[in-house]
Amino acid sequence: MVSPELSGKEQRARRSRWQKLSRKSYFGGKLSTKNLVRLCKENASEQRTLIVHTEDVDYREFFPNSFLVSKAQQKGCDLLVDKYYHLDTIESESYDIVLCTGLLEHIPDPERLLADIKRILKPGGKLVISASAVFSFHEGPDNFFHFTPFAFRLMFKDWSKIVELRGASQPFETIGILMQRILLQCDVFPLARPFIEIMARCARFFDVFVTEQFDTTWKYSDDHKIDSMMPSNIQAVIIK
């Protein structure tokens, strides 16, 4: 007869196996990463660059003369800061470029961070930034804001110029990204997971059928056209 203790161990082992299957990924890589790689490739530079927060992409490949600031001790980190990225110790007007991705939504006072970045940039310096728009809640409880292009125009109204402002993904691509986030952040019935992964990776192909996009409903006019009405992230390049 199986002892109660052994039975309990077997039950825990079974739960553990089920949990692993409920979280198993069959295809590696985040769908949203390629959009960050594209942003980095387009703005690659050998100028002195401050990288504020880094995930998913090896930014040094595109910005070899860079200084990495992070809240986490990691390989290549040059300056360790608190989780809200207070940059007081960095000298004013000391960098040509600041790259900041996947961070602004995790700062309770984003205008403070942007003021710090503006102080750090040289006159005419460039900020390359990406922040969550239509995206899952993540890194809770420190996930305070998601942004729109209209919010970016408001936040950067006192900067010299917005060179680029766009959605990081097209609407069906965003649906694929969100489906993948469900698999990343939820326990899902194991037999369903591979099918959902396949659908997530195929969703973007439907974007070829989208001919025009608008920022509101029932106002299909030229002044309401938009590059992406449902992007996972907002990306921008702004001049100080």
pLDDT at position 178 is 98
Bond before 194 cis per omega within 30 degrees: no
CA–CA distance, 83 with 88 (Å, rounded to integer): 14
- The answer to whether the pTM exceeds 0.85 is yes
Over residues 117-142, the pLDDT tens digits come to 999 999 999 999 999 999 999 999 99
State pLDDT tens for residues 44-69.
999 999 999 866 788 889 999 999 99
Mean pLDDT, the chain, integer: 93
DSSP code for 119: H
Domains of the chain: 26-169+232-239 (3.40.50.150)
